[in-house]
C-alpha cells in the first residue's frame, strides 16, 4: 500500500482544485447544527487545502489545521492566508506535535482521512483523538464506503469498527448519516458519524476516562477497582449509605467480593494480570484463602449466600486478603494531583474468624467502608453503559500486552468470555 502523503504531494494541484470547488457548508451541512456555539477550539485533521479550516475560522473559532502533505499545506496556507488558522505538519496515528501544544478541542474534524489509516493503526489513532477532545466534545468523522485504492493508500473501512472504538473509549454516536460522493463518483458513498464524549458537568467522567485510558498502570488493579464500583453502582446501589456531603459509603466487603468475582474466571483461564506474573504469582490477594476456593464458582459467590465450614473460612480469608490488596494498591494509587486518594477507605478494626458467614449487609460492612465521591457514584450509575465497555476494552488490551511480553498465547474469545 502506497504512502498517501506522497500521492497528495504529487497530485496536490488536482486535489486543491477539487476541494476548493466544493462548499464546506454543503459538504458538512450534516453537522451544521452540532457545531459549537460561540468561539471554540477546533482541530481539522487532514486539512488538505484548508477549505474547511478557513470556513470554521470564519465562524469565529480558533482552528488548528493538521496536514502532513507539504504541498497541500503550503497551498492551503497561501490560498487562505487571511484566515486565522494555525498550520501544523503532523499526522495520525501519533499526532505527536499536536499533543505537545497542550490544547484540548471542542470539535475534531476527520473528513476523508480514516481510510488512509491501516487497520492496525486505527485503535491508536482513535485513542489519540479521544484524548485531545474536551469533555462533551465532538468528533465529526466521515468514512469512505468504496473500493480499495493501493496507489492512493486507501484502505477499506467499516462502520462497526468505528462504533466499537467509540464504545471502547466511553463515547457514543450522536448522529449517523450517509451521503453521496460530492465529486460524483458512483462507486463511492460517505458514512458520516458525529461521536460525542459524554460529560455530566461535574468532572467525574473526565477523571474516569483519565484513569482508564491514560493513568500509569503496573497491573490491572486500577481497572478492576473501577469496574467493581461500576458493577456495584449499577446492580447493588442499595448497599450504599450516606457518609457526608461529599461521599457515599459502600461496604468494603462487597467491594472485595465483587473484585474476587471479576478476577476468578480470568485467573482460572490463566490470563496474566501483571507484566511479569506467571499463573497466580505476584497477585497480592491470591493467598491460601483464595486457593482453597478453587472448586467454588464465582457465580455462587454472591450476596445472600451462606458459607460454612472450610469454604466459609476460606472465603472470609480471601475477602480479607482482597480488601487489604485493594486498600494498599488501587485505592491508594488512584489519586488526585495533590496525592489524596479518590476512594478513601475506613477500616472497621474488627478481627474475628466466624465459623459461618452470610454475605449480607452487616457482614460486608464489618470489613470497613470505601468512600466514593458523590459525583463519581452518580456518574457511574448514570453512565455505566458507556463507562464499563471502556473498562473492559482497556482491561482486555492490558491482558493482551502482558501475555505478549511473557510469550503467552491468549485469544480474544477467551478474554471476552472471562470478562462477561
Separation of alpha carbons 67 and 44, rounded Å: 9
**β-strand pairing of 133-145 with 105-110:** parallel
Cα–Cα distances (Å) from 395 to 12, 224, 400, in that order, read: 43, 8, 9
Q: In 3D, which of 114, 218, 128 has the Cα closest to residue 159?
A: 114
List the Cα angle 211/215/221 in 5-degree steps. 70
- Cβ neighbours for 397, distance < 8 A, ≥ 6 positions apart: none
Burial of 11 (0-12, 13-18, 19+ CB in 10 A): middle
DSSP state of 142: E
| Helix ranges restricted to H, 81-220 | 96-100, 122-132, 159-168, 204-209
Instruction: Note the maximum CA span of the chain.
Output: 82
**Residue 225 in contact with residue 395, Cβ under 8 Å?**
no
Q: Which among 262, 210, 254 is positioned nearest to 396, based on CA atoms?
A: 262
Positive or negative torsion for Cα 130, 133, 135, 139: negative
3 state SS of 181: coil
How far is 4 from 120, CA to CA, in rounded Å? 16
Write phi, then psi, for 299 (nearest 5 degrees). Answer: -65, -25
Cα gap 396→270, rounded to integer Å: 13
Peptide bond into 93 cis (omega under 30): yes
Q: What is the DSSP string of 247-292?
A: EEEEEHHHHHHHHHHHHHHHHHTT---STT--TTTT-TT-SHHHHT
**Crossing angle for the helix pair 12-20 and 70-79, nearest 10 degrees?**
40
Q: 196: which 3 cell numbers?
A: 460525542
DSSP state of 214: I
Question: 0.75 cut: is pTM over it?
Answer: yes
- Give the DSSP H or E segment for 381: helix 374-405
Q: What is the pLDDT of residues 324-364, one digit of tens each?
A: 999 999 999 999 888 899 999 999 766 566 778 999 999 99
Inter-residue contact 20 to 47 (CB < 8 Å): no
Handedness of CA 297, 299, 302, 307 (dihedral sign): negative
Nearest of 172, 212, 129, 173 to residue 383 by alpha carbon: 172
* Residue-level pLDDT, tens digit, the chain, 420 residues: 789 999 999 999 999 999 999 999 999 999 999 999 889 999 999 999 999 999 999 999 999 999 999 999 999 999 999 999 999 999 999 999 999 998 999 999 999 999 999 999 999 999 999 999 998 999 999 999 999 999 999 999 999 999 999 999 989 999 999 999 998 899 999 999 999 998 878 888 888 888 888 888 889 999 999 999 999 999 898 999 999 989 999 999 999 999 999 999 999 999 999 887 655 557 889 999 999 999 999 999 999 999 999 999 999 999 999 999 999 999 999 998 888 999 999 997 665 667 789 999 999 999 999 999 999 999 999 888 889 999 999 999 999 999 998 888 899 999 999 999
Distance in angstroms (rounded) separating the CA atoms of residues 95 and 117: 13
**What cell numbers appear for 3 in the block?**
504512502
Amino acid at each position: 500500500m502506497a504512502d498517501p502523503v506522497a500521492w497528495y504531494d504529487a497530485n496536490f494541484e488536482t486535489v486543491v482544485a477539487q476541494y476548493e470547488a466544493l462548499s464546506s457548508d454543503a459538504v458538512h451541512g450534516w453537522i451544521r447544527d452540532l457545531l459549537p456555539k460561540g468561539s471554540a477550539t477546533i482541530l481539522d485533521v487532514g486539512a488538505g487545502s484548508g477549505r474547511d479550516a478557513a470556513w470554521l475560522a470564519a465562524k469565529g473559532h480558533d482552528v488548528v489545521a493538521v496536514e502532513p502533505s507539504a504541498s497541500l499545506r503550503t497551498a492551503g496556507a497561501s490560498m487562505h492566508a487571511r484566515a486565522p488558522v494555525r498550520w501544523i505538519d503532523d499526522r495520525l496515528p501519533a499526532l505527536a506535535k499536536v499533543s505537545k501544544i497542550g490544547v484540548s478541542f471542542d470539535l475534531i474534524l476527520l473528513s476523508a482521512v480514516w481510510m488512509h489509516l491501516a487497520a492496525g493503526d486505527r485503535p491508536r489513532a482513535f485513542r489519540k483523538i479521544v484524548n485531545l477532545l474536551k469533555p462533551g466534545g465532538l468528533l465529526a468523522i466521515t468514512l469512505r464506503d468504496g473500493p480499495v485504492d493501493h496507489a492512493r493508500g486507501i484502505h477499506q473501512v467499516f462502520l462497526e469498527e468505528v462504533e466499537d472504538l467509540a464504545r471502547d473509549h466511553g463515547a457514543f454516536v450522536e448522529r449517523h448519516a450517509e451521503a453521496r460522493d460530492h465529486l460524483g463518483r458512483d462507486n463511492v458513498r460517505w458514512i458520516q458519524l458525529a461521536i460525542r464524549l459524554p460529560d455530566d458537568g461535574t468532572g467525574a467522567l473526565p477523571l474516569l476516562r483519565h484513569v482508564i485510558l491514560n493513568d500509569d498502570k503496573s497491573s490491572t488493579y486500577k481497572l478492576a477497582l473501577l469496574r467493581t464500583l461500576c458493577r456495584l453502582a449499577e446492580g447493588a446501589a442499595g448497599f450504599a449509605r450516606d457518609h457526608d456531603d461529599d461521599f457515599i459509603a459502600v461496604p468494603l466487603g462487597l467491594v472485595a467480593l465483587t473484585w474476587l468475582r471479576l478476577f476468578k474466571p480470568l485467573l482460572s483461564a490463566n490470563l496474566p494480570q501483571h507484566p511479569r506474573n506467571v499463573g497466580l504469582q505476584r497477585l497480592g490477594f491470591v493467598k491460601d484463602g483464595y486457593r482453597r476456593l478453587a472448586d467454588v464458582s464465582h457465580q455462587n459467590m454472591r450476596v445472600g449466600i451462606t458459607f460454612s465450614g472450610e469454604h466459609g473460612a476460606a472465603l472470609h480469608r480471601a475477602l480479607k486478603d482482597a480488601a487489604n490488596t485493594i486498600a494498599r494498591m488501587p485505592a491508594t494509587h488512584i489519586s488526585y494531583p495533590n496525592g489524596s486518594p479518590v476512594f478513601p477507605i475506613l477500616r472497621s478494626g474488627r478481627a474475628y474468624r466466624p465459623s459461618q458467614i452470610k454475605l449480607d449487609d452487616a457482614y460486608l460492612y464489618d470489613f470497613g467502608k470505601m468512600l466514593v465521591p458523590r459525583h463519581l457514584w452518580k456518574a457511574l450509575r448514570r453512565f455505566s453503559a458507556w463507562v464499563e465497555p471502556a473498562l473492559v476494552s482497556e482491561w482486555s488490551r492490558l491482558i493482551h500486552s502482558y501475555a505478549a511480553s511473557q510469550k503467552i498465547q491468549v485469544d480474544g474469545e477467551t478474554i471476552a468470555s472471562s470478562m462477561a
